[in-house]
Structure 1
């Protein structure tokens, strides 16, 4: 019998629709025109979030709250500017506040809960690894019922651990904490920079959950699987 498999999921836009709270915030505060490309804006929003977080370094550490707020407002300004909408810092802060408020009225993607339970029944170690401040991400974990579904001992938040994805040390920390091995560990996530690169550099099997059908980044990395939904994911993980 081989090593026990570990299957860990990202949270934002992997286990639930992370676009919806942003869409609601934008609708409320800037009233975008008809045909506004929400998905494209969201993609650039996530791009700038990853870019600015990496530039700041350890932005999710509680000691760096000022840097976190600065990053959050800048990502909104930069993303919207690409689509011809200029907002000042005060407007960006209001959009960010509305966006945060909407992040706790969330539910798992269809098929996610069932897949997690099937993986557990198979005997896999199943959990989540997510970037963000501890309290904020734990509120999402509870809103999604993940605290009960996978157990708090299998929830790893970068702001609590002290390392952010894509740092491979975070994945190694998870292996040590769960007594699993990199070669038997899988990570499913939507972010190329944080999830694909982080998992690959830690020696994990990388599944890029590309349900928004974006182009891969030219980084020289190649995920083991590129999937667009939970039906495909179930087939890969469970063989049918």
Structure 2
């Protein structure tokens, strides 16, 4: 029986692509209908490695901004940007992230879930940076600080199953009693399932499952379907 629901943050609670696209269009001269999703996905996939390069001292913060964006562009056979352009993009993207909002319907679902389940967050990233997003999204209305676990807090990061095991101890629950909601198959679904959790895949980017080894318990394709899933979960627990 599920007793807790734990969420990813980036591109699960809010639309991370919208501020990325808005910032990138200020720097690239591309047709209005040009699909920027592959660049966005590539940029996101580099997150762990990029921050590792900074933490190790191999890259400065400025070098990370330049290299991370140019790698994503080059993977799509697009010309790179200058240092000034990369820093302007970073500034615009950061500004956009300062104005994020929950996906439609999540407030209603969280109100219902909060009354019946323990709620939590597991997210990769620097604690201060991720907590700032959590506060902007007003997630503190439903989730206490001790139920928020960042990779910096844990000393390990998704997809390492250990971070999920650490959350088990924080919640005082067995793995089989917890469900995880995330947008990334490998980082969220596969990792949670390997840890023995239930996994709900918020596949609103319409991505393919890269392997058939781990199957999500539920898959939803947009914010409305996610709301319906969470409300249905809360309805079942009432009986």
Provide the C-alpha distance between the structure 2 equivalents of 1:227 and 1:72, rounded to a whole number of angstroms. Answer: 33
Secondary structure class of the residue paired with 1:29: coil
Provide the C-alpha distance between the structure 2 equivalents of 1:65 and 1:135, rounded to a whole number of angstroms. Answer: 19
Secondary structure class of the residue paired with 2:46: helix
Secondary structure class of the residue paired with 1:92: helix
Residue from 159, 180, 183 that aligns with 2:173: 180
Structure 1 residue aligned with 2:205: 212
Residue from 209, 215, 220 that aligns with 1:222: 215
Are 2:12 and 1:14 equivalent residues in the alignment? Answer: yes
Structure 1 residue aligned with 2:138: 145
Q: Which runs of 5+ in 2 are unaligned?
A: none
> Which deviations, in whole Å up to 9, do the C-alpha atoms of 1:138-178 show, x marking residues without a partner?
11111111123322222211122221111111001011011
Work out the number of aligned pairs and report it: 231
Residue from 25, 43, 61 that aligns with 1:45: 43
Structure 2 residue aligned with 1:125: 118
Provide the C-alpha distance between the structure 1 equivalents of 2:117 and 2:57, rounded to a whole number of angstroms. Answer: 36
Structure 2 residue aligned with 1:233: 226
Are 2:73 and 1:75 equivalent residues in the alignment? Answer: no
C-alpha displacement of 1:119 = 0.9
Provide the C-alpha distance between the structure 1 equivalents of 2:218 and 2:24, rounded to a whole number of angstroms. Answer: 33
TM-score (structure 2 length as normaliser): 0.85
TM-score (structure 1 length as normaliser): 0.85
C-alpha displacement of 1:77 = 1.6
Q: Which runs of 5+ in 1 are unaligned?
A: none
**Change over 3 Å in CA distance of 1:65–1:219 after alignment to 2:** farther
